[in-house]
Amino acid sequence: MKSSVKTTLTELLAAVVLVVAVAVILSMGLSSCASTEKPVEPAQAAETEKKSETKKKAEYSKTDFMEDLQSVLNKDGPEAALSLYETKLPAKYADDFDLLFLKAAINVSAENLDEAQALCNELSQRDPQNDDVASLAVAIAKMKGDNAERAKQVNSLLAKDKLNSAANVELGEDMFLKKNYKQAKIYYKRALVREPENIDALRGAGQCDYYLENDDEAEKTFKKILEIDPKNTQAFLYLGKLAYAANEYKIASDYAKQALDTDSENYECNMDYGMYERYLGHYKNAEAAWTKAIEIEPDYFLAYAYRAGLYDEQDIFAKAMADYKKVIELNPNYYYAYESLGILALHEENWTTAREAFMKCYDSNKNNISYPLMITYCYYKEGNGTEAKNFSNQVLRKMDRNSIEYSMLRVFHDRAGERPLPQRISAMTNRNLQGKMYYYLALFYDMFGGTELANEYYAKVVSMNSPMFFEFRLAEWRTKGKVPLK
């Protein structure tokens, strides 16, 4: 199964624009320094160099400003870079088109979207045909959630060139979000016609192949990205996912670690690294990775769920229960957390917590007989036989009276009438349901005084060696003396 974890769109867009801004600075700097003059004679070189040095000291050039801009942008971030426009930009360059475009791009990276849009509007009026400005306007509209403006700018780019890279990447992302991976890939491929090394288009095409399970193609694409950008986080991340899909957990873990080396604060990278390390049996590394993910996004439930499962697997029940409770707090509709919490609460003999958890499970899945049986059992253990009967009676009214499930719940309700059940259970062909019924028969005897028979039926459950139902784990605990459940 292909996996994915949510990514903040605004953060991703801002990061992309920041990279673009740096790239533009580099390209502009190189072109500004390029020389078309004829070589000078050696005798003239010293004099030329001397004049050049004098001029450089006397005049702060556009190239100097771009070099400072790049340095501050890389070192201190977009806000610090923007301050240079107020403190170091010579007045004669205040209206320079290229530098204003960079200012707009850096404002996008700083998420100063109104300022960026105002600059884009000004630049668009000065040069309505400028594709770079239109592409930046698309990014601004997307980050502001202005779908109409985004569509307008995309259509404007496509009207001039159907193979425009930026516009086709946008269309690809639209289809990708709709999980129409085949159509998304078509748009990403079109984007690559004009720009074969467009990272966004390559990433999109690779992700489409990943979800379409064209794993060889996806691997080639992500490795190509690394040839262009050796520190590309997404390329390492998806190469890890591909290795994991092929059950190559060590390779997957190595790729995820490389992704983390490029971006240690990436939620998805930490989630994936933890998952691969867990499969390798490196539980401490998995725990550390998921704990880091929780630090990054403390209000998102998934890392808590993964870490809870890790603790649960190691019988660290108190921590597991705390994490399951956090999952439920953050995502009340996450059904599996309630069941897991209920199971561990049974182990801890916290009958009320267990009952409340199983009641949530029953609300979500009324066809699973385990839940009403467990709820009834917990009521008994709470010393509330009246509610045990009231609840089970309400459930029994809606059940098929000829079913084995009805008969078992009726026995719990009546606290009698179990004698015909062993023969009926032994004749069952559905092994999962058969195992459940043996377990609840054992539980019935445990509650009402038949210890020898209880042990016999617990042993039958364990001998099935079929842990496809949660009661198997409870039976194992019972036979190993880990929990009384009497």
* Domains annotated on the chain, with CATH: 1-31+59-160 (1.25.40), 161-230 (1.25.40.10)
Show the low-confidence residues of the chain (pLDDT under 50): 1, 4-16, 19, 22, 25-40, 42, 484-486
CB-neighbour burial class of residue 426 (10 A; exposed 0-12, middle 13-18, buried 19+) = exposed
Q: What is the pLDDT of residues 82-106, one digit of tens each?
A: 999 999 999 999 999 999 999 999 9
pTM of the model: 0.80
- What pLDDT does 453 receive? 94
The confidence score (pLDDT) of residue 58 equals 56
pLDDT of residue 59: 83
Number of H helices, E strands in the chain: 27, 0
Q: What are phi and psi of 90, to 5 degrees?
A: -60, 145
Using alpha carbons only, what angle is made at residue 415 by residues 411 and 416, rounded to the nearest 5 degrees?
A: 70
pLDDT given for residue 391 in this prediction = 98
- Nearest partner of 264 among 228, 238, 222, 236, judged by Cα: 236
Return the pLDDT at 39.
Answer: 44
